[in-house]
Amino acid sequence: MAAYEAQFDATIAADQRIEPRDWMPEAYRATLIRQIAQHAHSEIIGMQPEGNWILRAPSLRRKAILLAKVQDEAGHGMYLYAAAETLGVDREELTEKLIASKQKYSSIFNYPALSYADIGVIGWLVDGAAICNQVPLCRCSYGPYARAMIRICKEESFHQRQGYELLMRMMRGTDAQREMVQESTDRFWWPSLMMFGPPDGDSPNSQQSMAWGIKRHTNDELRQRFVDMTVPQAAALGITLPDPGLAWNAERGAHDYTPPDWAEFEAVIAGSGPCNAQRIAHRRRAHEDGAWVREAATAYAEKRAAPSGGGAPISGSRPGAAP
Amino acid sequence: MSELAGDPVAVSEPAGEPSAQRRRWALYEVFVRGKRGLNHVHVGSLHAADAEMALHNARDLYTRRNEGVSIWVVRADDITASSPAEKDPFFAPAGDKVYRHPTFYAIPEDVPYL
């Protein structure tokens, strides 16, 4: 055991990747399972606020974009469940924990999307914050998670840009449209800041995660980076961020800003956000409504696998020669 | 488990729960050829009722942006992998054969094309 542990420590110290079949401390495995599952659940639950607007998209172009984006969120959830499974959990088990509220997802998705401007602001601020969080995870010490994040980050860039473009278009529209964008920004600014998690002093797991190379930056470092990146983007849009305390601090070379209401954050995490119950109920219903499809697919596969089952051969050809 | 996983990590499946009665779908590992001339590369895994469904799901999941021209799906159970525990002895035979590399051989600088 000591030899295994020494090898694990040496791999981490050399900034190399831990791979699924390597020995790892149980706490490392448990931390990763919790984090990756929570991340996967966030992608899956994150389809809901936006999916709600697909049928009400203002044009075919916007509808196609929103569909592709929501489909990506599903894909990201699947990449992450696949990564979690390399740690010895089953994705169905994870889904069951989600709908039993035994595992969490990002607090941001407990806020509703109330107007089409929200679709733009979610892309700009929420996906922007997610990118800030996720880019360093591409160098996470656990190989499968890092590889999933590389794939996700490539796709996430489209999410943010389509949101920003949507907002630019609305800002060139009518006064009413500009007001919608401002109102939406006012609602999403604070929850977006909360996406980085509690302040460093209140984030007990951060230090160990950083020692293990799972996290590369603290919550407050990433939050600061997000604020600094967002300020010029807001200016280019002609939007006012709803923080009177926001100001450039030349001494620090960064913006000072007002922290979000951490009591609200705690309450939303604890289940009292505007949409917590609705999100879980919807996910549970989707899972249960899909049960007959899964059963039918299993029965069909078994029938075709049976010796006299007949049925068409699979459409893909076998690889044949060895790679 | 996926990623050619082999550790016999127990997957808990509480007996008697409704979902336990449903036979779980097999885990498939997915390999994609990015374009002609390249090898298939492992990209991830998914669950499916059979190979055809695995292929269709792999297309939807891993090639939404033209990332591939060919996909292989392989049941994870059918993959035999070297064990990490025997890593060092297993690969040791190659360790002391430096003469298999071109840099082992000293050739004068002025000899061309070598």
A139-167: pLDDT as tens digits: 999 999 999 999 999 999 899 999 999 99
pLDDT at B12: 37
**From B7, B12, B52, residue closest to A314, measured CB to CB:** B52
Q: Between chains, do A316 and B52 touch, taking CB under 8 Å as contact?
A: yes
CA–CA distance, A185 with A179 (Å, rounded to integer)? 10
- Look at residue A198 and give its three-state secondary structure: coil
Residues A70 and A50 sit within 8 Å (Cβ to Cβ): yes
B2 CB within 8 Å of a chain A CB: yes
B31: chain A residues, CB-CB within 8 Å: 323
B25 CB within 8 Å of a chain A CB: yes
Residues A20 and A144 sit within 8 Å (Cβ to Cβ): yes
Distance between alpha carbon B25 and the CA centroid of its chain, in Å? 19
Buried/exposed code over A152-177 (b: 16+ C-beta within 10 A; e: otherwise): bbebbebbbebbbebbbebbeeeeeb
pLDDT confidence tier of residue A309, bands split at 50, 70 and 90 = low
B12: DSSP letter:
-
Residues A5 and A25 sit within 8 Å (Cβ to Cβ): yes
CA distance A31 to chain B (A): 16
CA distance A178 to chain B (A): 33
Q: Between chains, do A72 and B64 touch, taking CB under 8 Å as contact?
A: yes
A92: chain B residues, CB-CB within 8 Å: 19, 24
Question: What strands, in cross-sheet order, belong to the sheet with B26-33?
Answer: B40-48, B26-33, B70-75
pLDDT at A78: 97
Q: Is the pLDDT of residue A319 over 70?
A: no
Q: Which of A122, A99, A123 is nearest to A111 (CA)?
A: A122
Supply A32's token pair.
């990763």
A21: chain B residues, CB-CB within 8 Å: 3-7, 81, 83-84
- In this prediction, residues B49-59 reach a mean pLDDT of 96
Q: Is the dihedral of CA A212, A214, A216, A217 positive or negative?
A: negative
**How many residue contacts between A and B have a Cβ separation below 8 Å?**
100
- In this prediction, residues B61-78 reach a mean pLDDT of 95
